[in-house]
Amino acid sequence: MLNKTLWFSLILGLTSAALAHVAAQPEARTMTVEAESPHATQTCQVTYSSGTFYTSTQFCVTVNGNIPQFKVRGGQLFPPAGNAADLEGYGFCDVTGGFSYMDYAAYDNDTWNPSTLKQIGNTVTVTRTTADGNWQLTQTIVNQPASAASVGGVKITMKLKNLSSTARAVNLVRFATPDVGGLKNLYNTSQYSASGLFEYGIGLTLTVNSFLPSFGQEAYVQNIQSGPDPCNPLEFWEMTLPYNGFGSIAVLWDQAGTAKVAPKGTVTVVSTYRGF
């Protein structure tokens, strides 16, 4: 029969093992950061980690609302920060004015004011206006922690407000270049989802989660690694799938001028990244 000391040692060992398998969670904190510059950045401001072993997931968010790093089971799905191919971000086209706004982490088109980031636990909110004063973009980025059965993800809501006195039609895009050190990867789409699969069996999916009556929705593969021009978003659309090469994935909400965002009105779109 085990004595009390041995029982205590056994229980302590089992408890320690169980704790080692608990998924890491973000700090339940509140933080506000004002960007020092309006320009694109790949520097991580907030990092989330969750899951263990086969479901371990990690991603980070910049002060401008980009997600330049995403890891699954320790495998980085984007090139290292500072690499020109390390691209993830967002853009929109003022169809009425014929003008693009974009920020793809490695570069932007010099159309923004500095942003403000706020974090409360699993939620990051990034707000910024355009340099011409016509638009305000608010991004709500929510960590979806991994579970024992599934890797984690990130839900992104983009709310675009028309600050001008003119009704305007818009297109919105979200874009990423999943790439692991310059390898040619396999890109594909299913209905409203686009994904990149790497040679050793991990990948990233970008999915449309909002369907607006006055917009068309599209998930697609590009045959280039650069971000799309929001005013010509399908210029490099790869229609022969699966595409094996240097590519990227994107989702598009296309208003095509059939309806407009009223002065002081808003349009909101939602998408999700999830590893596999």
* Neighbouring residues of 57: CB distance < 8 A, sequence distance ≥ 6: 49, 50, 51, 70, 71, 72, 145, 146, 151, 152, 153, 275
Cα 244 off chain centre by: 22
Between the CA of residue 192 and those of 30, 200, 208, 248, 253, what are the distances in Å?
34, 25, 5, 15, 11
pTM score, whole prediction = 0.86
- Give the pLDDT score at 107: 92
pLDDT digits (tens, 9 = 90+) for 117-130: 999 999 999 999 99
How is the chain split into domains, by residue range? 23-275
**Distance in angstroms (rounded) separating the CA atoms of residues 166 and 31:** 35
- Give the pLDDT score at 180: 66
- Give the pLDDT score at 155: 98
* Neighbouring residues of 76: CB distance < 8 A, sequence distance ≥ 6: 69, 70, 180
Contact 42, 135 (CB under 8 A): no
Residue 7 one-letter amino acid: W
- Residue carrying structure tokens 């009556």: 213
Q: For 116-139, b where at least 16 C-beta lie within 10 A, e where not — what string?
A: ebebeebebbbbbbbeeebbbbbb
- Give the pLDDT score at 235: 96
- Give the pLDDT score at 83: 65
- Give the pLDDT score at 250: 97
CATH code of domain 23-275: 2.70.98.40
- Give the pLDDT score at 184: 76
Which residues in the chain land under pLDDT 70? 1-29, 79-86, 180-183, 256-257
